[in-house]
């Protein structure tokens, strides 16, 4: 597992770009299952952030999928369907909410029991083996401006 605070050089700029994206839900995407809303990351952010993530994780060759995501308080993350693994080698988030609610980070599980609860802190990168059972913490807010927002990524090793 990797945790790096103050990861992005200009997190406020990245957040403002995230707020202005066109988001979709699973109902309009249909390719994969996720709770909440997702949007594609503009090339300018991808080209800046992807190499920085790979450098932090000390990975030379890998492909990264990246999305902006947000979940409001009406998204349930305490059910069994929220606990999941991903089809990538690594997964992670960069938290993009300036004043997040307590318990809204990322939970890693060991045999279906909460094992590690990583705090949601503005501009914190969290990455982990995506085969470890995990889930988002408590979601909050009632709109994109005050919801749990992340830059979510999936890394596929070459």
Q: Which residues contact 8 (CB under 8 A, 6 or more apart)?
A: 14, 49, 94, 123
32 pLDDT higher than 80: no
Instruction: Write out the residue range of the structural domain in which residue 24 sits.
Output: 2-157
Decide if 134 contacts 115 (C-beta within 8 A).
Answer: no
33 pLDDT higher than 80: no
Q: Residue 29: its pLDDT value, please? A: 44
Q: What is the DSSP letter of 4?
A: E
Q: Which residue has the tokens 């408590």?
A: 138
Sheet holding 134-136, edge to edge: 113-118, 106-110, 134-136
Total of domains in the chain: 1
Q: Which residue has the tokens 């952030």?
A: 49
Alpha helix segments (H runs only) across 9-147: 11-19, 26-29, 43-56
* Closest alpha carbon to 92 in 41, 52, 55, 129: 129
CATH assignment at residue 27: 2.60.120.620
**What is the tens place of the pLDDT at every residue in 75-118?**
655 555 567 767 889 999 999 999 999 988 888 888 766 678 88
Q: Residue 37: its pLDDT value, please? A: 87
**What is the tens place of the pLDDT at every residue in 127-155?**
998 888 778 888 899 999 999 999 999 99
Decide if 95 contacts 136 (C-beta within 8 A).
Answer: no
Residue 89's alpha-carbon distances to 70, 120, 157, in angstroms, are 23, 22, 6
């Amino acid at each position: 597992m990797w945790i790096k605070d103050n990861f992005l050089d200009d997190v406020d700029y990245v957040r403002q770009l995230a707020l202005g994206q066109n988001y979709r839900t699973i109902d309009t995407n249909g390719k994969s299952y996720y709770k909440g809303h997702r949007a594609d990351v503009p090339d300018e952010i991808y080209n800046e952030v992807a190499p920085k993530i790979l450098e932090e994780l000390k990975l030379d060759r890998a492909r990264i999928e990246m999305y902006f995501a947000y979940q409001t308080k009406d998204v349930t993350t305490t059910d069994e369907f929220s606990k999941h693994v991903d089809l990538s080698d690594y997964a992670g988030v960069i938290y993009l909410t300036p004043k997040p609610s307590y318990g809204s980070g990322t939970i890693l599980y060991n045999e279906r029991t909460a094992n590690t609860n990583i705090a949601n802190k503005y501009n914190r990168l969290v990455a982990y083996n995506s085969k470890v059972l995990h889930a988002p913490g408590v979601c909050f807010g009632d709109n994109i401006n005050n919801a749990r927002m992340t830059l979510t990524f999936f890394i596929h090793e070459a």
